[in-house]
Amino acid sequence: MSIITIVPRDIIALIKATRYGEEVKPSQQAKRKVFEEEGIAGTYKDRILTAIFYDIWRRMGIIDRIAIEFTNVSDIAVLDPWLRAALRVAIELLVFEKFVRDRDRDTRNLFIKYLKGPVASFLSNITHPYVGMYFWKLVDRLATYRYEPRDLYLKWEYRYLVSEFIIKKLVELMGREETKKFLQAVNRVPPISVRVNILKASVDEVVKTLREEGLEPVVGRYVPTVVKFRGPYDFNRSRLFNEGKIVIQDEASAVASIVLDPKPGEIVVDLCAAPGGKTEYMAELMNNNGTMYAFDIDKNRIARMKKLLNKTGIDIVKVYEEDGRKASKIIGEDVADKVLVDPPCTSTGTIAKNHEVRWRVVYERIDDVQRLQIELLETAIKLVKPGGRILYTVCSIFREEGEDVIRYILDRYSDKVLLTPLTRPFDPGFLKGTMRAWPHKHSVNGFFYALLERKQ
């Protein structure tokens, strides 16, 4: 389609989707809802407007830096949310989208006219007249702006679409050359990764079916029941998926259940269980024999977990819509053979697939989640029997959420737990005895693992 067919209403739809994308997670849901309401979904404009929307979120940190520069605020969050969304769309269109930036003057001037006219009027109507006037003046300045990164880290940020904050943290951990390899790896499109439900199917059966569907599946390198293939793939229409024969799961995530090694007949607790991938796999490894307690506080994720467990034929899981930190008060102390602590984290190990994570992580966020991670581990120590084991795992690349948490626990609870060294299948962590998976080394999400044992 010709870019000239984009009209002001389409730009306003992008602004609405960007605005609601701050509130609705994942942001794709906000985009779908707005595009349906605006009559865009399924039309010939859907593809290109969707591409622009994704480009905005992929470049969000850079776009916000430019917005801060132009508005002279200390934090983009202080701006009116509609102005913030409109600025993000305007910057994407005028500064970064080549089909606008590098087109003939008439086409570029048309987009400037749209932004200064109907879009500015829309802002005035939905917020305050002064907001539209202010935006009108900002567009004039943006019309001649060119973004030039001023140092190496900002150049890498621009090239690899990962925040300067994360890049600096990576360089501290592994140096510049290793960081560059990491950034290159997370900008390659990863394959789809599924795990075979061994209670309902064999790997051979799944591989054969996928080949019949025209795909080229490859069995995982680290987990023998993981199968990977290049998309696209419609899970909604997949017989394997709908019959519970496969579960969507990254290989590094699947490794966690194997490391904890739950056995049939054991009592296992998952303190942050939903949406249930690790919970379901642990139950498989237990041959659906034993007792598992699954805690979580997110209603929507719990609903997804229950659906997954039902579909895969797992019936040994008792689900609690409760904060995992309350688990010892609910089911008692010294009761579990195994405990999984897979707490909320910055999710920086998943940035190959989750572009929003690339920009939203800040120091304060790390401090907040670290406190929660420690408290959940303290609960796990109460839950586990003497001789029982606790696996702590996070999909984070940061030492603060991995090694630092475990070092704190080992120092404070040296009389109660010890570290059981992990040597495979991934690399040693930055604390001896711990383990890390890396996108650029293992072609999986970034993960940290530490296995603790309760002293007798």
Q: Rounded mean pLDDT of 60-74?
A: 94
Answer yes or no: are the C-beta atoms of 5 and 45 closer than 8 Å.
yes
Rounded CA separation 280/437 (Å): 21
Q: pLDDT at residue 218 above 70? A: yes
> Is residue 147 situated within a structural domain?
no
For the residues 29-34, what does the mean pLDDT come to? Answer: 92
Q: What is the pLDDT of residues 121-139, one digit of tens each?
A: 999 999 999 999 999 999 9
Kindly report the CATH number assigned to the domain that includes residue 255. 3.40.50.150
Other Cβ atoms less than 10 A from the Cβ of 288: the count is 16
Mark which of 248, 265, 285 sits at the end of a domain: 248
| pLDDT of 25 over the 90 cut | no
Residues 449 and 354 both lie in one domain: yes
Residues 205 and 309 in one domain: no
Instruction: Say yes or no: 201 and 174 in one domain.
Output: no
pLDDT of residue 77: 92
- If asked whether residues 181 and 204 sit together in one domain, one would say no
Helix (H, G, I), strand (E, B) or coil at 196: strand
- Is residue 213 classed as helix, strand or coil in its secondary structure? coil
Strand pairing of 447-454 and 417-420? antiparallel
**Local confidence band at 356 (pLDDT 50, 70, 90 cut-offs):** confident
Residue 360 pLDDT: 85
- What is the percent of the chain with per-residue pLDDT over 70, rounded to a whole number? 97
| Residue 359 within a domain | yes
| pTM, entire model | 0.90
369 falls within a domain? yes
pLDDT of residue 387: 97
| Rounded distance between C-alpha atoms, residue 163 and residue 373, angstroms | 24
Segment 413-436 mean pLDDT: 97
Q: How many domains does one find in the chain?
A: 4
Q: Looking at the structure, do residues 299 and 410 belong to the same domain, yes or no?
A: yes
Residue 106 has pLDDT above 60, yes or no: yes
Looking at residues 87-93, what average pLDDT do you find? 96
Q: Nearest 10 degrees: CA dihedral of 420, 421, 427, 432?
A: 110
Q: Does 363 have pLDDT greater than 90?
A: no
The mean per-residue pLDDT over the stretch 236-242 comes to: 95
Average pLDDT of the residues in 54-81: 94
**24 with 59, same domain?**
yes
Q: Quick check: 133 and 124 in contact, CB under 8 A?
A: yes
Q: What does residue 267 show for φ and ψ, rounded to 5 degrees?
A: -105, 120
Residue 279 covered by a domain: yes
- β pairing state of 336-341 and 267-270: parallel
Q: Using the predicted structure, report yes or no on whether residue 191 has a pLDDT greater than 70.
A: yes
Residue 431 located in a structural domain: yes
Q: Which domain holds residue 45?
A: 3-142
Is 222 part of any domain?
Answer: yes
Among candidates 171, 177, 259, 174, which has minimal Cα distance to 223? 259
Residue with tokens 């056995």: 263
Q: Does 388 have pLDDT greater than 90?
A: yes
User: Do 208 and 283 share a structural domain?
Assistant: no
Around Cβ 204, how many Cβ atoms within 10 Å? 10
Contacts of 411 (CB under 8 A, 6+ apart): none
> Which one, of 418, 336, 419, lies nearest residue 385 by Cα?
336
Instruction: Map residue 364 onto helix, strand or coil.
Output: helix
- Stretch among 24-33, 111-120, 263-272 having the lowest mean pLDDT: 24-33
Averaged over 114-121, what is the pLDDT? 96
> 105 and 160: one domain?
no
CATH of the domain at 125: 1.10.940.10
CA 120 remoteness from chain centre: 34
Does residue 286 sit within a domain?
yes
**Is it the case that residue 428 has pLDDT exceeding 50?**
yes
Residues 165 and 302 in one domain: no
Q: Are residues 325 and 243 in the same domain?
A: no
Percentage of the chain beyond pLDDT 90 is: 88
Closest CA to 340 of 414, 289, 266: 266
Q: What tokens does 376 get?
A: 């959940």
Q: Are residues 234 and 178 in the same domain?
A: no
Q: What is the pLDDT of residue 1?
A: 40
H/E segment holding residue 166 = helix 164-185
Q: Distance of CA 247 to CAs 2, 309, 314, Å?
A: 40, 10, 13
Is there a single domain that holds both residue 279 and residue 423?
yes
pLDDT of residue 3: 52
Q: What is the CATH number of the domain that holds 204?
A: 3.30.70.1170
Residue 443 domain flag:
yes
Q: Give the DSSP letter string of 258-316.
A: HHH---TT-EEEETT-TT-HHHHHHHHHTTT-SEEEEEE--HHHHHHHHHHHHHHT---
Residues 210/227, Cβ–Cβ less than 8 Å? yes
The answer on pLDDT for 292 being more than 80 is yes
